[in-house]
Amino acid sequence: MQPNVEETKFINEQDQIVVKSRGNHGPATVQLFDSKTGRQEGKVMAYEITDDQPLWAAGMGQ
């Protein structure tokens, strides 16, 4: 996770959390975590999110 968290949202009945973060410069990263274990389950660059895909990252593009 980058140091500047811009947005978070719980999904799947709060079983997972999506975090959009970025450094002081450069593109944002969107990551999917299991909310119980903290294990990362997915990762995508914000600029790669198109047509709300992957579905878990919908709405967190650029």
- Tens digit of pLDDT for each residue in 49-58? 999 999 999 9
**Mean pLDDT, rounded, for 27-44:** 97
Dihedral through CA 46, CA 51, CA 52, CA 54, nearest 10? -70
Domain ranges of the chain: 4-48
Closest to 30 (Cα-Cα) out of 49, 10, 51:
49
* Distance from chain centroid for Cα 46: 8
**Mean pLDDT, rounded, for 5-29:** 96
Cis check: omega of the bond before 27, within 30 degrees of 0: no
